[in-house]
């Protein structure tokens, strides 16, 4: 079969990193780290594994960071090369190992991508996995699998940018008939956002700021409204089509960013805050949001979050930051901010007195119709048209792209 394979060697990395400044397609030409290549069909590593036939594989922001070589080198020991990219998924079981009880070939599934203790062959779980906190697993470089935090970053499992990939029985979630393939594909990003929201759930009287209106920022808004939050929630968006999406999902207000910090005044007016200008650099805001969810991961968006959160407020980092070079951390001290990270994968959550696995809660919200994200799948490509798909990720504003997916025939 053919798949999108990623292999970061130093010569390939340097070639892609240097030439992509003038010619971005070098990054997926096969000369850099990513290539559309022939790879072996997956084979069961054990009878507690399955082969999933992909129906859709999403292109996520972390995938894009990998493709465009902007991911921090911090993650390199937590990845194994070469690997097939893609962790957002919906598919059907093509082959089921004898120890995968209760599952049959042909069933529609989504795969939770975290490669925690059980997929790695451990019967005795680490302290975090034993509590259901599989996103904090301590063994992501050990056990029966090569290093890799997730499916799509491990050479042994494959990923959803291929017609088939592997999934351990502990990673499988059945997709109800009420959920379309498009909504099923959005279970993973919705689960990421649900985890961030439930770990930092606002009171109805709180003022919430979501910085970023890409898929994770929009899913954070959908999670808040789907869970019943009545908090005033303002979304900071870059493009008009993102603003339209945020309004559709129930944003109290949408503020557009620009090259200058003019959005500070608009947000200050909404939050009843005051803007002040330092002798040099960006403005600051006295007052601001009670809770800010940073859903981009860029230096400027993190810096904005810190400046736009009130004294004693909370900043939740949901977007995956790299090496932050343009962030002024002074606001943390001046305003006694609480800065938390919400891991980009999933957890055991408490909601309305019940303990949920995050994927189960996402599936429940979608199946009941409390959340509908199917319309966010705006662009579909067969895998062999990967050049068009990646070009669109590079100029997503031109195509008004929210979620770009690879779609596979039955």
Supply the pLDDT for residue 322: 75
Residue 73 has pLDDT above 90, yes or no: no
Does any domain span residue 368? no
**Whether residue 304 is found in the same domain as residue 204:** yes
Supply the pLDDT for residue 352: 83
Instruction: Indicate the range of 184-193, 234-243, 279-288, 341-350 predicted with least confidence.
Output: 341-350
Does any domain span residue 286? yes
**Whether residue 122 is found in the same domain as residue 267:** no
- Judged by DSSP in three states, 232 sits in strand
**Whether residue 30 is found in the same domain as residue 56:** yes
User: Given pLDDT bands bounded at 50, 70 and 90, which one contains residue 353?
Assistant: confident
**Whether residue 75 is found in the same domain as residue 13:** yes
Supply the pLDDT for residue 261: 60
**Whether residue 160 is found in the same domain as residue 204:** no
**Whether residue 30 is found in the same domain as residue 141:** yes
- Judged by DSSP in three states, 279 sits in coil
Which of 251, 98, 107, 90 is CA-nearest to residue 185?
Answer: 90
**Whether residue 249 is found in the same domain as residue 289:** yes
Which of 185, 230, 171, 241 is CA-nearest to residue 206?
Answer: 230
Supply the pLDDT for residue 170: 97
* pLDDT tens digits, 375-385: 999 999 999 99
Q: Could you tell me if 317 and 310 are in contact, meaning their C-beta atoms sit under 8 angstroms apart?
A: no
Supply the pLDDT for residue 230: 96
Q: Could you tell me if 237 and 255 are in contact, meaning their C-beta atoms sit under 8 angstroms apart?
A: yes
* Residue 303, both tokens: 């810096």
Burial class (CB in 10 A: 0-12, 13-18, 19+), 106: exposed
Beta carbons within 10 angstroms of residue 387's beta carbon: 13
**Whether residue 152 is found in the same domain as residue 9:** yes
Does any domain span residue 34? yes
Residue 258 has pLDDT above 80, yes or no: no
- Give residue 202's domain range: 190-341
Supply the pLDDT for residue 71: 87
**Whether residue 87 is found in the same domain as residue 39:** yes
Q: Which long-range contacts link 277-282 to residues 24+ away (Cβ below 8 Å)?
A: 281/328, 282/307, 282/328
Kindly report the average pLDDT of the chain as a whole number: 94
* pLDDT tens digits, 127-153: 999 999 999 999 999 999 999 999 999
Cβ neighbours of residue 319 under 8 Å, at least 6 residues apart? 61, 212, 216, 294, 295, 296, 297, 298, 301
Residue 259 has pLDDT above 70, yes or no: no
Supply the pLDDT for residue 410: 78
* Residue 197, both tokens: 């929201």
Q: At what angle do helices 187-198 and 215-227 cross, to 10 degrees?
A: 60
CATH number where 383 lies? 3.90.180.10
**Whether residue 151 is found in the same domain as residue 49:** yes
The answer to pTM > 0.85 is yes
């Amino acid at each position: 079969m053919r798949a999108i394979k990623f292999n970061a060697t130093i010569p390939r990395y340097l070639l892609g990193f240097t030439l992509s400044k003038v010619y971005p397609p070098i990054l997926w030409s096969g000369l850099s780290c990513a290539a559309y290549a022939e790879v072996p069909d997956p084979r069961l590593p054990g009878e507690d594994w399955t082969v999933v036939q992909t129906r859709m594989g999403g292109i996520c922001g972390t995938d894009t960071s990998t493709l465009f070589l902007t991911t921090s080198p911090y993650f390199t020991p937590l990845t194994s090369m070469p690997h097939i990219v893609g962790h957002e998924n919906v598919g059907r079981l093509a082959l089921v190992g004898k120890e995968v009880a209760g599952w049959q070939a042909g069933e529609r599934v989504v795969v939770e991508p975290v490669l925690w203790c059980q997929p790695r062959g451990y019967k005795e779980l680490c302290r975090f996995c034993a509590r259901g906190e599989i996103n904090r697993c301590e063994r992501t470089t050990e056990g029966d699998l090569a290093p890799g935090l997730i499916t799509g970053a491990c050479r042994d499992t494959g990923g959803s940018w291929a017609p088939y990939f592997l999934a351990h029985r502990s990673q499988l979630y059945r997709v109800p008939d009420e959920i379309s393939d498009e909504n099923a594909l959005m279970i993973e990003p919705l689960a990421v956002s649900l985890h961030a929201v439930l770990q930092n759930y606002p009171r109805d009287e709180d003022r919430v700021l979501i910085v970023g209106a890409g898929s994770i920022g929009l899913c954070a808004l959908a999670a808040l409204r789907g869970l019943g939050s009545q908090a005033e929630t303002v979304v900071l968006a870059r493009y008009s089509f993102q603003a339209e999406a945020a309004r559709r999902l129930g944003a109290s207000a949408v503020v557009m960013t620009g090259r200058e910090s003019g959005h500070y005044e608009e947000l200050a007016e909404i939050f009843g805050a005051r803007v002040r200008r330092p002798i040099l650099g960006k403005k600051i805001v006295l007052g601001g949001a009670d809770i800010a969810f940073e859903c981009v991961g860029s230096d400027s968006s993190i810096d904005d979050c810190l400046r736009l959160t009130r004294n004693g407020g909370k900043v939740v980092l949901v977007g995956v930051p790299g090496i932050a070079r343009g962030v002024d951390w002074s606001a943390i001290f001046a305003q006694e901010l609480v800065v938390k990270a919400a891991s980009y994968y999933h957890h055991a959550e408490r909601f309305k007195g019940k303990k949920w696995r995050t994927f189960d809660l996402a599936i429940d919200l979608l199946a009941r119709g409390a959340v509908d994200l199917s319309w966010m799948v705006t662009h579909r490509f067969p895998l062999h048209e990967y050049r068009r798909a990646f070009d669109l990720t590079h100029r997503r504003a031109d195509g008004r792209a929210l979620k770009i997916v690879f779609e596979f025939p039955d």
